[in-house]
Amino acid sequence: MKTLGIDIGSRNTKTLIFDVEHQQIAHYAWQTTDINPLSSVEALLQQAELATGIKMQQISATAVTGYGRKLYKKADRILSEISCHAAGSLFYYPTAHTVIDIGGQDSKIICLSDEGKVLDFVMNDKCAAGTGRFLEMTAIRLGVDVSQLSDMAKEADKELTLNSTCVVFAESEIIGMMADNQSAANIVRSVHRSIAKRIFSQMSALNHHPPYVFTGGVAQNPDLTWCLEAELNSGLLLPPEPEITGALGAAILANK
C-alpha cells in the first residue's frame, strides 16, 4: 500500500510517496512553489509517476498540508502543519520531545509527549524574523546565493550584534555594517545568531526539552544549526532531508 503526502509551502512544494507495508519512503521531490501552486503539485506528481512507475490511481490515500493545503481538492485529508511535522520527525526520531521547524516564511516549535502526542506549539507566520526570508534578504544584500551563507559564516572572527527584531530594520543595520566595512562573514554570523535568538525567545512560551529535532529548509544551514545549538545548550537532531518532513508526516497520516 502506498500513500501520498503533499506539502504546499509558501516557498517550496514537496511531494512524497510512502510505502506503508515496508514503512519506508518510496519517492520524494520538491520544487519552488509556482504562482499557481497547483501547477507545482501536478508537475511533481508527473515526475513521481515517471520516476517510480507508480500511477496515482495506485495511491491508497492522499493527505495535503502546508500554506496552500486548502487549494488541493483531490486529497483525502487536509492536515495541519503541526501534526505533519510532528509525525515526520517522529518517524526518524521516535523519542523526540521538541520539533523546531523553520521554513521560508514561518517558524514553528512543537512540544511532544513521551507517547508522541502534540502537547503544545507556537507558530510565527506574521514576521519574517526567524525564518528563511531573513536569510534570503541577507544573501541578496551581500550578492551571494543563500546556499553560500553557512560556509561564509565559518570565517567569522568578530561578534556583531543585530539589535532589530524586524527584518526591515535589520536590513538597515546590515547596510550600515557594510558601510562600516564589516566583513561578509561577520555579518552573516550576526544574522544566524539573530535568528537563533529569535527562535529561542519564541520557545520561551513552551515547556520544551530535548531531544530536539530541527526541520525545514533552513535546517540545511550548518552554521545556523550551530548557533541554535549554542542558544539551546543542546544538540539538534537533523532528519536526512529536513525539507520533506511535512510531506512525510502527511503521507504517514494519510490513512490514519
pLDDT at 105: 85
Distance (Å, rounded) from C-alpha 199 to C-alpha 207?
Answer: 14
> Per-domain residue ranges for the chain?
1-93+243-256, 97-238
pLDDT at 214: 98
**DSSP secondary structure string, 191-256?**
HHHHHHHHHHHHHTTS---SSEEEESGGGG-HHHHHHHHHHHTS-EE--SSGGGHHHHHHHHHTT-
pLDDT at 166: 80
The CATH code of domain 97-238 reads 3.30.420.40
Answer yes or no: same fold for 1-93+243-256 and 97-238: yes
Residue 49 sits at φ, ψ, to 5 deg, of -60, -45
pLDDT at 158: 94
pTM of the predicted structure, to 2 decimals: 0.94
Identify any residues that bridge with 78 across adjacent strands, giving them in sequence order.
Answer: 64
Q: Tell me which amino acid residue 93 is.
A: Y
pLDDT at 125: 72
| Nearest one of 214, 208, 244 to 229, comparing CA atoms | 214
pLDDT at 227: 97
Q: What is the pLDDT along the chain (256 residues), one digit of tens a residue?
A: 999 999 999 889 999 999 999 999 999 999 999 999 999 999 999 999 999 999 999 999 999 999 999 999 999 999 999 999 999 999 999 999 999 999 988 899 999 999 999 999 999 877 777 889 999 999 999 999 999 999 999 999 999 999 877 888 888 999 999 999 999 999 999 999 999 999 999 999 999 999 999 999 999 999 999 999 999 999 999 999 999 999 999 999 999 8
Yes or no: say if 215 and 112 are a contact pair by the CB < 8 Å rule.
no
The CATH code of domain 1-93+243-256 reads 3.30.420.40
